[in-house]
Amino acid sequence: MSKRLFSKMSNQMYIDGYIRGNFLRLSSKFDMVISFTPLKQIIIDISIEGVDLSDSKLGINFKIGDSILIAQKWAELKGFKYNIIKRFN
């Protein structure tokens, strides 16, 4: 099964937010989609638009294979808006 099809069949977490800029750079808006398995809630795919995933200002402390609860706590800690869509329970 292709990675794209597998991520479409899984549960997803959408995160919206802004990264603060400095006096030379404006704030950057980003949209992140995290796909995770329905049963064990393990992250299987992370896609982001607007900034690079390795940007130090994001401070991401999770990766593919971690629990979705880590990503949820990260979003709450940083103050980003998130929405979880459960396609399968």
> In this predicted model, what pLDDT tens digit does every residue of 39-85 receive, in sequence order?
899 999 999 898 888 877 788 889 999 999 999 999 999 999 999 99
Find the domain containing 64 and state its range. Answer: 3-85
pLDDT at 23 over 80: no
- Give me the number of domains the chain comprises: 1
Distance, in Å, from the CA atom of 16 to the CA atom of 77, rounded to the nearest integer, reads 14
The β-bridge partners of 48 are 32
**Nearest one of 15, 12, 53, 16 to 36, comparing CA atoms:** 12
pLDDT at 28 over 90: no
Contact at 8 Å (CB) between 12 and 86? no
Specify the pTM: 0.83
- What are the Cα distances from residue 27, in Å, to 13, 17, 20, 84? 23, 10, 5, 25
Token pair of 28, please?
A: 């950057």
